[in-house]
Amino acid sequence: MIIPELLKTSVERAEKLIALLQGYGTNFARTHFNVDPTSGTKSLEHLLQALEHLKYSFAAELVAFPQHGLFYTESAKLMEEVAKWGQVDFIGGLDPFSIDGSIEKPMDLTVQLALDNNKGIDIHLHEGGESGVKTIHYLIDKALENPVLQGRTFISHAFALGYMPKKDLAHTAERLAEAKVGICSSVPFRNMLMPFRELKKAGVEVFAGNDNVQDHWGTFGSGNMLQKANLAAELYGYETEFELSRCLRYATNGKIPLDDQGNSVWPKVGDDASLLFVDASCSAEAVSRISTVYGLIHQGNVVKWNNSSQA
């Protein structure tokens, strides 16, 4: 079986992946660990080991992810168990209709686990048709019904948004903003484009990230978040210095040095002492040229300087 063999080296592989990300200036990630009958809680335990080894140079939010469905592989009880772990930040989910044959049953359990254990929600939704649209609105409804979930609920991928007619997209984006449900995207560009412009205009929080770094589903990943910001700029036609500088937020979890009026908003006294140094004169240049990262500081600790790692 594949999973037991992968578990044997999962701590080492997690640490190497973190080192790769750090080399490109990343000191924080939202990461998923598998929950399934074969691995049980081992994926979580191994991930925690890796993060403990690197606690002075890297931080993470953890998502409990039923990779093979909640009910299809009888993972519901395991999800109930890991939801109680204090280190877990989000309850995850995957294509409820395609995997579990229902939108309501897996989503209701996911929402209840989040409410019962004071967690956020992060659903991976690849479904692009009617089921994808219904799942998005079902999750919006749940966030509106439970204000504690607002600002803590995210839909990863959300490909259905890319296929919506403009009128439906405008309505959905308005509801996402109202419910404070964020969108996490790997910035895909195959047979459709995610509507970043429309979502941002409506006030929806949009984040970019890597769906893994490089695998069978995405063969062009590098782990470099500046590359993601650059890709977004090219895809959506952000060409001016101002627009390019705004694209930096896709790589930095929303943080940028100057607001839209040119006021300095980061860093300020009291901010977390985490920053990176790049070979660029400004944010726009860093995005446009995917500038080389030569320094990374995590919470006051020097992680990387030039080509040396001190993690």
Give the pLDDT score at 310. Answer: 63
Residue 280 binned pLDDT confidence (cut-offs 50, 70, 90): very high
pLDDT band at 192 (very low <50, low <70, confident <90, very high): confident
Mean pLDDT of 88-105: 98
* Cis peptide, bond prior to residue 4, ω within 30 of zero: no
Q: Percentage of the chain with pLDDT > 90?
A: 88
Instruction: Return phi, psi of residue 220, to 5°.
Output: -110, 5
Q: Which has more confidence, 170 or 212?
A: 170
- pLDDT confidence tier of residue 221, bands split at 50, 70 and 90: confident
Rounded Cα gap, residues 147 and 111, in angstroms? 12
Of the listed ranges 11-20, 208-217, 280-289, the least confidently predicted one is: 208-217
Residue 256 phi, psi (nearest 5)? -140, 150
pLDDT at position 308: 63
State mean pLDDT over 83-109. 98
Q: Write out the DSSP string of 263-293.
A: -B-SS-TTS-S-EEEES-SSHHHHHHHTPPE
90 or 254: which leads in pLDDT: 90
Q: Work out the average pLDDT over 68-76.
A: 94
- In the block, tokens 């992810």 appear at 65
| Domain regions of the chain by residue span | 2-223, 244-311
What pLDDT does residue 219 have?
A: 80
**Full-model pTM:** 0.94
Answer yes or no: is pLDDT of 304 > 80.
yes
Return phi, psi of residue 80, to 5°: -65, -35
Residue pair 252/27 in contact (Cβ under 8 Å)? The answer is no
Considering just the CA atoms, what is the radius of gyration of the chain in Å?
Answer: 19
| CATH number corresponding to 2-223 | 3.20.20.140
Say what the pLDDT of residue 309 is.
63
Under 8 Å between Cβ of 132 and 169: no
